[in-house]
A and B are shown apart, each in its own frame.
Chain A
Amino acid sequence: MEFNTSSANGAAAASFSQPQTKKFEARSPAPGEKLSRRVSPPLPAARTARVLLVGNPNSGKTTLFNALTGLHQKVGNYPGVTVERKIGALANANGLPVEIQDLPGLYSLLPNSLDEQIAVTELLRKSAGAPAVDLVVLVADANSLERSLYLCLQILDLDVPTLLVLNMIDEAERNEMRVEAQGLGRSLGIPVVAASAKKMIGIDHLRAAIFTELEKPRSLRQHLMPLPPEMAALCRPAAVWFLHQGLPTARAAMSETLHVISDETCLQNWSAHAQFETLRELVAQARVELGRRHIPWQRAETNLRFAIVDQLLTAHARRGRRQNLSHSEKIDRVLTHRVFGPLLLVLLLAFMFQIIFSFAEIPMNAIENFFAGLSGQVEAGMPAGALRDLIVNGALAGVGAVVVFLPQILFLFFFLSLLEDSGYLARASFMLDRVMAKVGLHGHSVIPLLSSFACAIPGIMATRSIKDTKDRLITIMVAPLMSCSARLPVYALMIGAFIPGTKVLGIFSWQGITLFGLYALGIVMAILAAFVMKRFLAKGASSEFMMELPAYRIPSWRTVLWQMYERAKLFVTNAGKIILAMSIVLWFLASYPKSEIHAPQSENQILQSYAGRMGKAIEPMIAPLGFDWKIGLGLITSFAAREVMVGTLATIYQVEGGDENSASLREALRNDRNPQTGRPVYSILTAISLLVFFVLACQCMSTVAVVRRETNSWRWPVIMIVYMTALAYVCSLIVYQGGRLLGWG
């Protein structure tokens, strides 16, 4: 296929792409060129076409992305690399190279947060060397078209080929909304396709429309919607200035004029320009003219565009009963009720953690048996020796001990994506905004913090939607205190080994309650830490809460399952790499040098190994917390990733126990006795002290790296490591020593 784009608007878009330090570097226009269009050279024939998926948050963009790409996506993995760009190949493309990129949600081209900034930069191709955009697919929720059409009008002014998708059309029909796709398309001058990504309706049609658009010569496009004459007259002087600075078309110049008239920040973006004073005068004149017509200049663009949007909808749509909204309001009567709302939120989370603990038991046993069987096979099939030892006691023991917790992680992600996709998380923000404001956070911090239950890295990245820099910084600094899924293996191991499974109140057990307590401890400490940090960071006026509350929807099972699959893959490959490597290194450190005497007492062997010596070296430091050298070794290795702790303990016990020790790690921990006193090495108190330490300590290299990148300095990650580790040490010390004073040890 050829993307024959040798035509008018191609040139328009092309000059946005040149590497630029400033927007639209000056270019001297050829005489007579002013309002005419130039011809761009044809694209190389076999180039991969680039399609951007753009849309308001909650417009079903990601579901559509999954539907179009058929899950053939490249998603960056979390440790170290951040997911910022999701790119997928268009499925069923008959071998044609079409690449789709999913951009962060966007309400307007005047970005209001870092998240939107990323989307706008990509869309305007402001970053250096950005590849050409061949088509923008704008996803709109057919149930509330107004804001989507606003964004659509802004994008049309960029002169990029655009296609509008009316998503969730099935729901709109149920709501008795009528949208005439063809008529709307004619008015806008672009193709409009009705679809439902969740129900897979209209996806083939959309795919065909994408191909048609990519093959269509750009000269055939004509976007309508000129400015009203009066407004155009007002904008013209500044628009001419922009044309002289190299903006490609009259339309783009008019659009930029509207932006700078309406938004002071947007105007200041040009302040480095040599002739900025001229621009400022022209803009000031336009603003005065607007004032004469009783239009505050801040509202010029929005008033104008929404007037057009209203006209379009009057002509081409009939607004129905908005059933989805009234349903949501009914559900909200309970879920965001003054009293029941916050109560239900707490109960819901408690229930979630209980389920994670009790339902995961069965698949966990299956995985445990699988690894036990595998070890048995290797032992039977290999001659005894160092290599067999390495595989069985090093690799299989370490990896197996961690992979066992896969079911729990899957349950966690299942619940989190249900909460998010149903629209409940936005309600949580709505309910908690005041509470968050009291402690120096913001309603917008709620979603990043709740996401941090999964992993602090996406949580920290989600802070990009927080407008205020200080609110964002505080949220970043406390997000790692929320218990992430990497802590879950450690929690599950220690709780499973030391906390009794006695039932409480019928459906809860002490184990589930302890787990909930650990999550609660993280939350409380995050709140305290935020409260303290607020004192140190002199805060200016915080930006006000503003958030869309999407209609409640039944989540798309495909999306939920896909997210679980992604997570499982990540967790297993992670276990496969980091944990395997750590386990092997540990096995070596714990097995060598071999002790002189081949005594049955393997404890001596491991004690005089490298690992034993390392553990012993830090033991004095951690002894006040109730930790012995084995845990100490685990603490060292778990800085790579928390779940390595479990693998470390498994490897140590396996090496120590030798071949005949096939009991699970939980039992090994329970049964470990001090050779001198004969008393158990670990008590409930040790377990709780260790759990508290894991809730609070900063033990994750990836988090440190992401904080470094998101705050663009080493200062904050260093402060984070210091304050979290100190907090963990002090709290564990209080728990252990306090407990002993009370005679629990």
Chain B
Amino acid sequence: MSFQESLDLKKVTSSKTLAALRPGEDAVITGYDDAISDQIRLLEMGLVQGTSVRMVKFAPWGDPVQLSVRGYHLAISRKTAQAILVK
């Protein structure tokens, strides 16, 4: 996706969050809840708008969650995942 395209993406297109995905399910990031902490780091790790992610699994106590994104595995807290909107 080019920069220009990312400019055109509407901010929030759905209300489904990353945390609602089932293990093995794919999705595309559409936006963020702006109350989210560490947003910059999340973006720097490659979770920018338009990125496709796959939910890999939940940790033994249901938190954190493991994602597959941009060719690597990233674990984030469930709370963070709930603040990332996907479709």
Q: Would B11 and A294 count as touching, CB distance under 8 A?
A: yes
List, in ascending order, chain B residues with CB within 8 A of A341's CB: 60
Q: Would A146 and B70 count as touching, CB distance under 8 A?
A: yes
Q: Would A322 and B63 count as touching, CB distance under 8 A?
A: no
Q: Would B56 and A319 count as touching, CB distance under 8 A?
A: no
Known: A147-B72, A295-B7, A307-B2. A302 touches B59 (CB 8 A): no
Q: Chain B, 49-66, contact with A by CB distance < 8 Å: what is the 0/1 string? A: 101000011011111101
List, in ascending order, chain B residues with CB within 8 A of A174's CB: none
A110 to B42, CA, bound (A): 12
Q: Would A549 and B74 count as touching, CB distance under 8 A?
A: yes
Q: Chain B, 23-48, contact with A by CB distance < 8 Å: what is the 0/1 string? A: 00000000000100111111111101
Chain B residues bordering chain A, tally (CB within 8 A): 44
Known: A544-B37, A545-B64, A545-B77. A307 touches B72 (CB 8 A): no
List, in ascending order, chain B residues with CB within 8 A of A298's CB: 39-40, 43
Q: Chain A, 548-572, contact with B by CB distance < 8 Å: what is the 0/1 string? A: 1111000000000000000000000
A296 CB, nearest partner CB in chain B, Å: 7
Q: Would B71 and A544 count as touching, CB distance under 8 A?
A: no
Known: A262-B40, A294-B11, A298-B39. A433 touches B77 (CB 8 A): yes
List, in ascending order, chain B residues with CB within 8 A of A541's CB: 37
Known: A144-B71, A319-B71, A336-B59. A433 touches B64 (CB 8 A): yes
Q: Would B11 and A435 count as touching, CB distance under 8 A?
A: no
Chain A residues bordering chain B, tally (CB within 8 A): 60
Q: Would B45 and A147 count as touching, CB distance under 8 A?
A: yes
Q: Would B6 and A307 count as touching, CB distance under 8 A?
A: yes
List, in ascending order, chain A residues with CB within 8 A of B68's CB: 325, 329
Q: Would B75 and A144 count as touching, CB distance under 8 A?
A: no
List, in ascending order, chain A residues with CB within 8 A of B42's CB: 546
List, in ascending order, chain B residues with CB within 8 A of A433's CB: 59, 63-64, 75, 77
List, in ascending order, chain B residues with CB within 8 A of A543's CB: 37-38
Known: A544-B79, A546-B77. A294 touches B7 (CB 8 A): yes
List, in ascending order, chain B residues with CB within 8 A of A304's CB: 3
List, in ascending order, chain B residues with CB within 8 A of A547's CB: 64, 74-75
List, in ascending order, chain B residues with CB within 8 A of A715's CB: none
A263 to B43, CA, bound (A): 12
Considering only CB atoms, which chain A residue lies closest to B72 in the complex?
A: A144
Interface check B9, CB cutoff 8 A: yes
B36 CB, nearest partner CB in chain A, Å: 9
Interface check A430, CB cutoff 8 A: yes
List, in ascending order, chain B residues with CB within 8 A of A310's CB: 1-2
Known: A296-B34, A546-B80. A431 touches B44 (CB 8 A): no
Interface check A594, CB cutoff 8 A: no
List, in ascending order, chain B residues with CB within 8 A of A336's CB: 57, 59-60, 66
Q: CB within 8 Å of B: which of A511-569?
A: 541, 543-551
A302 to B39, CA, bound (A): 11
Considering only CB atoms, which chain A residue lies closest to B73 in the complex?
A: A549
* Complex partner residue of A107 from B1, B4, B44, B62, CB under 8 angstroms: B44
Interface check A598, CB cutoff 8 A: no
* Complex partner residue of B41 from A112, A332, A426, A443, CB under 8 angstroms: A112
Known: A143-B71, A546-B76, A546-B80. A299 touches B49 (CB 8 A): yes
List, in ascending order, chain B residues with CB within 8 A of A435's CB: 61
Considering only CB atoms, which chain B residue lies closest to A545 in the complex?
A: B77
List, in ascending order, chain A residues with CB within 8 A of B79's CB: 544
Q: Would A299 and B71 count as touching, CB distance under 8 A?
A: no
Q: Would B41 and A107 count as touching, CB distance under 8 A?
A: yes
Q: Would A293 and B7 count as touching, CB distance under 8 A?
A: yes
Considering only CB atoms, which chain A residue lies closest to B71 in the complex?
A: A144
Q: CB within 8 Å of B: which of A94-110?
A: 107-108, 110
Interface check A231, CB cutoff 8 A: yes
Known: A299-B49, A303-B6, A304-B3. A548 touches B63 (CB 8 A): no
B76 CB, nearest partner CB in chain A, Å: 5
Q: Would B73 and A306 count as touching, CB distance under 8 A?
A: no
A269 to B66, CA, bound (A): 34
* Complex partner residue of B40 from A150, A263, A430, A545, CB under 8 angstroms: A263
Q: Which residues of B contact A (CB under 8 A)?
A: 1-4, 6-11, 34, 37-46, 48-49, 51, 56-57, 59-64, 66, 68, 70-77, 79-80
User: Which 5 pairs across A and B sit closest by C-beta, in order of nearness?
Assistant: A144-B71, A302-B43, A307-B3, A434-B61, A549-B73
Interface CB pairs A-B, < 8 A, 7: A110-B44, A147-B45, A295-B7, A298-B43, A307-B3, A329-B56, A339-B60
List 14 additional A-B contacts (Cβ < 8 Å) besides A293-B7, A426-B75, A550-B72: A147-B70, A147-B72, A294-B8, A307-B3, A319-B71, A332-B66, A336-B60, A339-B60, A434-B61, A545-B64, A546-B42, A546-B77, A546-B80, A548-B75
